[in-house]
A = this chain, B = another copy of it.
């Protein structure tokens, strides 16, 4: 057998490519070329030792017998002639780590979660862009609670269920998508990358997920149109007509959580600081103290006078499903149900409008507690605070059809379309579930990992029984009426002094 063939270090070192790869382990010489792609730990780690001695790295991880048990005997090419080892051959693999500077974007493949994209953006975007993207209302309490409330919900994982094949596909607005995830419509993606909204749209299309848009950014697959109703209704009517003609638009989402632009102080400060460089303000601008962070600029055209009556008007101007974006209470979820709305997105605008408005996942729990019938008749989406596959799964377990990510997608746009794809990383619609086993990061991978570890293989199995909300239940309102409300109202009505 080949075991007896004696090979010199120099002979072995000729087989050092991915097409022809030998390695030495415990003085035995193995041809691992065909095994490269099967290696559970990936081929890179083996290729580092191509043509040389991998004993040390191998032994740290594997028992001596693993190699023999997993490779055919014919792959054993011989034994190393130790007398032929020279300094060159014995040298460990090179270690020239490339240095990434503080204000330079790290290579995309080194980003492994949504937080990484945020960190890179904080260091490489302009102050103005960072301020607009990251800021939220006043003391940031809602922004932070959006995330921490997810962290305070615990799984109740089940074991010994066959989770070999996991299917993350979901139905939403009548279509089928690869993930219960959509990109929330976000403004001004061009601030961080010239491709801006187009990069996002193309990534969503290629990855088969739903997206929201503020305007038609790119030739794309399915999306929903997020409508900010204009003070000038005629303009909104025109927009709705355009939407009706576009078969890719699956629904109209009417924005209802932006009655007034929030006070986003980081954003305001960028503007304020800038003013310092203008020592003499022109006379006309003397009363122009209104800050003017980008958030306020954007909000200038939105109509704060929108009411449930206007929704009827919207429904008359489109045959598409009409949904609400920005519901923050069970009461309004019920009103939406009564108004014949097709779906509601629970959202506090990423905490950007009203500080201490409730985290969306808390509103979802309020609907559970006060009006579960909502889930029978409307799709419910959740926005604000989603950072992890576990967050996605928790929302779906608690009744959400899908969740939206906004800020994180903007941060990913820092790397253009490829960045957004890396963050999503789902498989194309209709693609085999199993073939993408090789894909990594981020949201798709995290969701699959979470589903397997919680013991389910499809989102239809995601149920409230798989989570425990005891650590946040006290944050969930249980009823509407307050006995003392009457006393306060009476006191106000009376003239007392």
- A273 interface residue per 8 A CB criterion: yes
Task: Looking at the assembled complex, report how far the CB atom of A2 sits from the nearest CB atom of chain B, in whole angstroms.
Answer: 24
Taking a contact as CB atoms under 8 Å apart, the answer to whether B44 and A388 are in contact is no
- A338 interface residue per 8 A CB criterion: no
Taking a contact as CB atoms under 8 Å apart, the answer to whether A482 and B470 are in contact is no
Q: What copy number does this chain have within its complex?
A: 4
Chain A 346-363 per-residue mask, 1 if CB under 8 angstroms from chain B, else 0:
001000011111100010
- A8 interface residue per 8 A CB criterion: no
Task: Looking at the assembled complex, report how far the CB atom of A206 sits from the nearest CB atom of chain B, in whole angstroms.
Answer: 16
Residue of B nearest to A463 (CB): B485
Taking a contact as CB atoms under 8 Å apart, the answer to whether A307 and B259 are in contact is no
Chain A 461-497 per-residue mask, 1 if CB under 8 angstroms from chain B, else 0:
0011100101101111100111111111111101011
- A153 interface residue per 8 A CB criterion: yes
Chain A 132-175 per-residue mask, 1 if CB under 8 angstroms from chain B, else 0:
00000011010000000001011111111111100000000110
Chain A 415-448 per-residue mask, 1 if CB under 8 angstroms from chain B, else 0:
0000000000000000000000011110001101
A residues 240-288 near B (Cβ < 8 Å) are 251, 256-257, 259-263, 265, 268-269, 271-279, 281-285, 287-288
Task: Looking at the assembled complex, report how far the CB atom of A52 sits from the nearest CB atom of chain B, in whole angstroms.
Answer: 15
- A328 interface residue per 8 A CB criterion: yes
Task: Looking at the assembled complex, report how far the CB atom of A189 sits from the nearest CB atom of chain B, in whole angstroms.
Answer: 10
A residues 77-130 near B (Cβ < 8 Å) are 94-98, 100, 107, 109-110, 112-113
Contacts of A69 in B (CB 8 A): 235
Residue of B nearest to A473 (CB): B474
Residue of B nearest to A332 (CB): B159
A279 and B98 contact, Cβ closer than 8 Å, known pairs A37-B284, A157-B328, A188-B60: yes
Taking a contact as CB atoms under 8 Å apart, the answer to whether A269 and B112 are in contact is yes
Residue of B nearest to A254 (CB): B160
- A19 interface residue per 8 A CB criterion: yes
Contacts of A269 in B (CB 8 A): 110, 112
Other-chain contact of A496, B263, B379, B492 (Cβ < 8 Å): B379
- A59 interface residue per 8 A CB criterion: yes
- A292 interface residue per 8 A CB criterion: yes
Other-chain contact of A292, B44, B294, B296, B490 (Cβ < 8 Å): B44
Query: Complex formed: what's the CA distance from A155 to B448 in Å?
Result: 35
Query: Complex formed: what's the CA distance from A43 to B335 in Å?
Result: 40
Query: Complex formed: what's the CA distance from A463 to B485 in Å?
Result: 6
Other-chain contact of A272, B43, B110, B160 (Cβ < 8 Å): B110
- A6 interface residue per 8 A CB criterion: no
Residue of B nearest to A162 (CB): B305
**Stretch from A23-31, A370-378, A405-413 that touches the partner:** A370-378
Task: Looking at the assembled complex, report how far the CB atom of A272 sits from the nearest CB atom of chain B, in whole angstroms.
Answer: 5
Chain A 287-307 per-residue mask, 1 if CB under 8 angstroms from chain B, else 0:
111111010111111011111
Contacts of A59 in B (CB 8 A): 190
- A340 interface residue per 8 A CB criterion: no
Taking a contact as CB atoms under 8 Å apart, the answer to whether A358 and B155 are in contact is yes
Other-chain contact of A288, B44, B284, B476 (Cβ < 8 Å): B44
Contacts of A475 in B (CB 8 A): 154, 468, 470-471
Contacts of A296 in B (CB 8 A): 40-41
Task: Looking at the assembled complex, report how far the CB atom of A290 sits from the nearest CB atom of chain B, in whole angstroms.
Answer: 5
Contacts of A321 in B (CB 8 A): 497
- A326 interface residue per 8 A CB criterion: yes
Task: Looking at the assembled complex, report how far the CB atom of A249 sits from the nearest CB atom of chain B, in whole angstroms.
Answer: 13
Task: Looking at the assembled complex, report how far the CB atom of A428 sits from the nearest CB atom of chain B, in whole angstroms.
Answer: 15
A159 and B476 contact, Cβ closer than 8 Å, known pairs A98-B279, A141-B151, A488-B463: no
26 contacts between A and B (CB under 8 A): A40-B297, A41-B296, A42-B290, A44-B288, A61-B297, A96-B277, A100-B276, A110-B275, A139-B151, A139-B388, A153-B356, A154-B356, A155-B356, A157-B354, A158-B328, A159-B257, A159-B259, A159-B328, A160-B332, A161-B259, A164-B304, A357-B453, A372-B488, A464-B485, A468-B475, A471-B474
Interface contacts beyond A36-B284, A97-B273, A162-B305: sample of 10 additional A-B pairs, CB < 8 Å, sorted by A: A17-B282, A41-B294, A42-B290, A60-B190, A110-B269, A174-B497, A260-B449, A465-B485, A468-B476, A468-B477
